[in-house]
Amino acid sequence: MKRLLFSALALTLALTPNIYGMEQILMGIAAISITQQEQTTTECSICLKNFTTANKPVVCACESNMHVFHEPCIKSWVSHNQSCPNCRQKIDAMHIYRDSHELGFLLLKYVRNFADMKSALQILEYPDLDIDVNIEDESGLCPLELAIYKLEQNSNYALLIEALLKHPLINPMHVSSKLSGAISAFNIATYSEKASSVIPLFLAHPKIATNTREGASLFTPLMQAAFFGRKDTVKILLSDTRVNPTLQNLYGETALNCAQRGKNYLLRGCSLYWPADPEKIQNFDNTIYMLAVAEKKWNATHSATSTAPTTTTIQATTTTSNPSTK
């Protein structure tokens, strides 16, 4: 019934002149429909019996959706029928995914295509599915890392990242076996331009390591965000008392030094930061100021202990005065 009402409303709006922003309303409804996931099925629609630990569900991946059944039920069904018992789309044995490896690759397939977002969210909802959520694709990316990269293209991927981080088997510190630099999913998120919305989700995860120095340059997540002038991410990271702003990377730089170096690259027209528009410069100024304050506060708080590392000052043509805000 919900689908019928939505289709009717969408058709009505589509045929209505774009008065009072009808087109924007239609786009908004489409976005909302992605977030409204259907309730997780607890029984096989073939035998009408519940899924159990001993009789787990398997996934039937149809062209536009996914469904779960008991394996014996769907095997018997496809041997006599060429259509899905739920949606009637054409299927065969190749559409059935059973073990964790197969289901992991199915999840990767769904993550790659935004049109399959609903199916990706659904497959993560089933607690009884034995799925490898940390599986890597041919380039070495796991579903979480792939979703972070996709977030740059579509902000709705934040929904999928949240669902992945809630999965009991997810590893937010997963490091690709093929990508150079050995950067974890968490570290990737900190330098992603649009990932500030998901950083709190990472910080809330029990397996997160907030100060891990990674990659060839031994950058912490805070250094990574600072180097790219991600002021919103830096602000969120600094709000976590576990994040240490005085740690140093391979070059003896703190996060503050990384931000200063990043701004210098921006002003010199480095391709990583170009164009050097006023907003980016302002972001770096805000980042530098926040880090200068945080570093001073950390040193004052931890001066009585021997655990605070020695920081190295690097000359930079920047200022740490409080920048004007927009």
Instruction: Please count the helices (runs of H) and the strands (runs of E) in the chain.
Output: 13, 3
Q: 82 or 16: which carries more pLDDT confidence?
A: 82
* Coil, strand or helix at 103: helix
On the CB side of 238, CA atoms within 13 Å amount to 26
- Classified as helix, coil or strand, 57 is strand
At 40, the amino acid letter reads T
Q: Where are the domains of the chain?
A: 57-98, 101-209, 215-326
The CATH number of the structural domain formed by 101-209 is: 1.25.40
What angle in degrees, to the nearest 10, is found between the helix axes of 143-151 and 100-112?
10
Q: What is the pLDDT of residues 78-89, one digit of tens each?
A: 888 888 888 888
Give the integer Cα–Cα distance in Å for 162 and 40: 17
pLDDT digits (tens, 9 = 90+) for 184-208: 899 989 988 888 999 999 999 999 9
Q: Which residue has better confidence, 141 or 255?
A: 255
Backbone φ and ψ of 97, nearest 5°: -115, 125
What's the pLDDT at 234?
97
What dotted CATH number matches 215-326? 1.25.40
pLDDT tens track for 261-274: 999 988 887 766 66
* Tokens of residue 203, six digits: 């910080």
146/162 Cα distance (integer angstroms): 13
Q: In the prediction, which pLDDT does 248 show?
A: 96
